[in-house]
């Protein structure tokens, strides 16, 4: 497992119309070795580009510094016009922890970046979100209030002294906000209207901040006050949502532009449905939506499951199917194509990483297995056979969930499909894990052994690599054995027309267990007395023995459904 810390950076630059300027900024980012540029999302109407890149924290803050410096050299805020609120050439630059790093550590990197930008580039810098200690200055909207034009006066207010850099607003570069935050989704919902006022009305209905109450509920009516003199506010229906309405000339539609700041509590699909309902009440219709930048895989999968459940359909389907239903229901492809490999952060990172065996075609995998290379070998093949067994169980469950006349049982079969599909995914990861474990043994054996110290290090490395090479096929046995539960359920209660599929699933699970058992034993040679290996050998032998009986029972059940 990769334990290297990784953070994401999503700077927003006040230029969305000149591709040459955008390219020079992204070139500056990519000039730092080890950085992965994931997405560049320019908006012509907003005249703003959102860039997403990831890497080791040290690399990320260096790339961010170079980008901020380049943007300041190329963008003149005196000439900038756009629909989106902004205060500088680099308007905002958040750091987001992805893996192997805490929020506290990410805050420290944000402070280092902010200090360097303020001192070396002489740009006023404000900290926000988790990086800001002052609760009154955490909110980006509060900091940016007044925008570029109003900041020449605002920056002189002692309450708005920058955290770093000069207390003079930079004429051409403006000011910059840098911070650390959790994953935020920038999300726009499209309406069948050109009215910004009506879009704003829906935005006020849903956003957490709601709307200020006025006499007679008129836009120009007198603001109603509380006893303490503060304005009366009617909160919106969605927590952790910031929203405004605007008109996009490029598409000739009005949109509700939102930031979803806590997708765990208020997920994307809930926001979409709520906006649809509030728009309907006001006589409007949602025609689609768009994501700005990247989105986590889990967000899309949850949306797909949510919409399938509303249709009373099985959710135990592939990631690709879940994403497809999410894209179509949310209308994410209305204004432009939505490519999951580019727009989903995990997919985007993966396609720039080492190719996986499971990404190969069936023919390519079989040809590679047949080659002179010892890997992939029997362990990877056993894992894949197990995955196919689980896949067949999921297939029978999904077919049964959608069988005519079985509507009342769709949820029962959906649950089995989910369980089988989860096992299939886990077994697929072990296809690559087995080959990686074998390669680790080869690497360890190639370590130098000239001195006694080198010999000890080499021996320890070989032992650790070998233990992993035993663990992987043992996991294949465990997962394939677990698949028998859903296979047996489908043999008993699934669509009888698919009984033979359940039978093949049982045969595949049994073959995977038997094949993985052979790999456990051959890799355990010389380590049979190791405490961990001893435990695995005993447990694996039990699995192998029980699996034969279970396979026989399932096949008998399958045969009972087949009448010649």
Whether residue 434 lies in the annotated active site: yes
Helix, strand, or coil (residue 361): coil
**What distance in Å separates the CA atoms of residue 510 and residue 170, rounded to the nearest whole number?**
70
Whether residue 80 lies in the annotated active site: no
DSSP for 24-70, please give it: HHHHHHHTSTT-EEEEEEEETTTTEEEEEEEE-HHHHHHHHHHHHHH
The helix or strand, by DSSP H or E, that contains position 536, with its residue range, turns out to be helix 531-561
Phi/psi of residue 332, each to 5°? -70, -10
Geometric angle at alpha carbon 58, from 53 and 62, rounded to 5°: 65
Which of the following is catalytic: 84, 421, 432, 501? 84
DSSP for 155-223, please give it: TTSGGG--SBS-SS-BTTTB-EEEEE-S--EEEEEEES---HHHHHHHHHHHSTT-EE-BGGG-TTSPB
Q: How many CB atoms lie within 10 A of CB 366?
A: 13
Phi/psi of residue 249, each to 5°? -60, -35
Q: Are 55 and 13 in contact (CB under 8 A)?
A: no
**Tokens describing residue 115:** 């200090």
Which of the following is catalytic: 41, 91, 163, 434? 434
- Residue with tokens 């840098």, as numbered in its chain: 178
Helix, strand, or coil (residue 380): helix
Phi/psi of residue 289, each to 5°? -155, 170
**Tokens describing residue 450:** 């000239």
Phi/psi of residue 396, each to 5°? -60, -40
**What distance in Å separates the CA atoms of residue 121 and residue 248, rounded to the nearest whole number?**
34
Angle between helices 57-74 and 103-120 (to 10 degrees): 30
Q: Can you name the residues that pair with 247 across neighbouring β-strands?
A: 254
Q: Are 286 and 279 in contact (CB under 8 A)?
A: yes
The helix or strand, by DSSP H or E, that contains position 128, with its residue range, turns out to be strand 125-129
- Residue with tokens 């007395």, as numbered in its chain: 529
Distances (CA, A) of 451 to 272, 442, 457, 458, 495: 65, 20, 10, 10, 65
**What distance in Å separates the CA atoms of residue 20 and residue 23, rounded to the nearest whole number?**
5
Helix, strand, or coil (residue 95): strand
Q: Which has the closest alpha carbon to 554: 393, 341, 379?
A: 393
Active site residues: 84, 434
């Amino acid at each position: 497992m990769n334990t290297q810390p990784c953070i994401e950076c999503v700077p927003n630059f006040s230029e969305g119309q000149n591709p040459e300027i955008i390219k020079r900024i992204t070139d500056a980012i990519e000039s730092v070795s080890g950085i992965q540029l994931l997405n560049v999302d320019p908006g012509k109407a907003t005249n703003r580009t959102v860039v997403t890149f990831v890497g080791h924290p040290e690399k990320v803050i260096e790339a961010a510094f170079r980008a901020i410096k380049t943007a300041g050299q190329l963008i003149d805020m005196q000439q900038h016009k756009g629909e989106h609120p902004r205060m500088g050439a680099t308007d905002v630059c958040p750091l987001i922890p992805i893996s192997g790093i805490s929020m506290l550590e990410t805050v420290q990197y944000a402070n280092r970046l902010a200090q360097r930008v303020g001192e070396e580039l002489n740009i006023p810098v404000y900290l926000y979100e988790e990086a800001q200690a002052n609760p009154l200055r955490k909110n980006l909207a509060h900091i940016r209030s007044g925008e570029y034009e109003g900041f020449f006066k605002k920056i002189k207010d002692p309450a708005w002294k920058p955290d770093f850099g000069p207390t003079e607003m930079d004429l051409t570069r403006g000011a910059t906000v840098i911070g650390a935050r959790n994953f935020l989704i920038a999300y726009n919902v499209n309406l069948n209207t050109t009215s910004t006022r009506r879009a704003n009305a829906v935005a006020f209905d849903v956003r957490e901040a709601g709307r200020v109450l006025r006499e007679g509920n008129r836009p120009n009516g007198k603001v109603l006050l509380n006893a303490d003199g503060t304005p009366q506010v009617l909160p919106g229906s969605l927590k952790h949502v910031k929203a405004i309405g605007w008109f996009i000339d490029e598409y000739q539609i009005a949109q509700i532009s939102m930031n979803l700041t806590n997708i765990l509590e208020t997920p994307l699909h809930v926001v979409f449905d709520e906006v649809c309902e509030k728009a309907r009440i006001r006589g409007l219709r949602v025609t689609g939506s768009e994501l700005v930048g990247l989105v986590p895989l889990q967000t899309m999968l949850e949306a797909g499951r949510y919409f399938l459940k509303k249709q009373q359909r099985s959710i135990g389907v592939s990631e690709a199917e879940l994403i497809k239903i999410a894209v179509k229901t949310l209308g994410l492809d209305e204004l432009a194509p939505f490519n999951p490999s580019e727009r989903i952060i995990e997919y985007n990172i993966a396609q720039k990483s080492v190719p996986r065996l499971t990404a190969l075609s069936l023919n390519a995998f079989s040809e590679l297995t047949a080659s002179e290379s010892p890997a992939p070998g029997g362990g990877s093949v056993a894992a894949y056979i197990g995955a196919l067994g689980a896949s067949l169980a999921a297939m029978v469950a999904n077919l049964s969930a959608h069988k005519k006349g079985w509507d009342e049982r769709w949820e029962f079969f959906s649950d089995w499909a989910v369980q089988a599909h989860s096992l299939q995914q886990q077994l697929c990861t072990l296809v690559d894990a087995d080959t990686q474990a074998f390669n680790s043994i080869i690497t360890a054996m190639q370590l130098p052994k000239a001195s006694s110290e080198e010999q000890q290090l080499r021996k320890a490395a070989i032992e650790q690599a070998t233990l992993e090479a035993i663990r992987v096929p043992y996991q294949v046995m465990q997962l394939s054995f677990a698949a028998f539960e859903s296979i047996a359920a489908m043999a008993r209660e699934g669509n009888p027309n698919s009984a033979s599929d359940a039978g093949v699933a049982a045969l595949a699970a049994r073959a995977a267990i038997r094949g993985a058992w052979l790999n456990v034993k051959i890799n355990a040679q010389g380590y049979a007395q190791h405490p961990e290996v001893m435990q695995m050998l005993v447990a694996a032998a039990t699995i192998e023995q029980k699996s034969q009986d279970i396979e026989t029972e399932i096949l008998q059940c399958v045969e009972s459904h087949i009448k010649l």
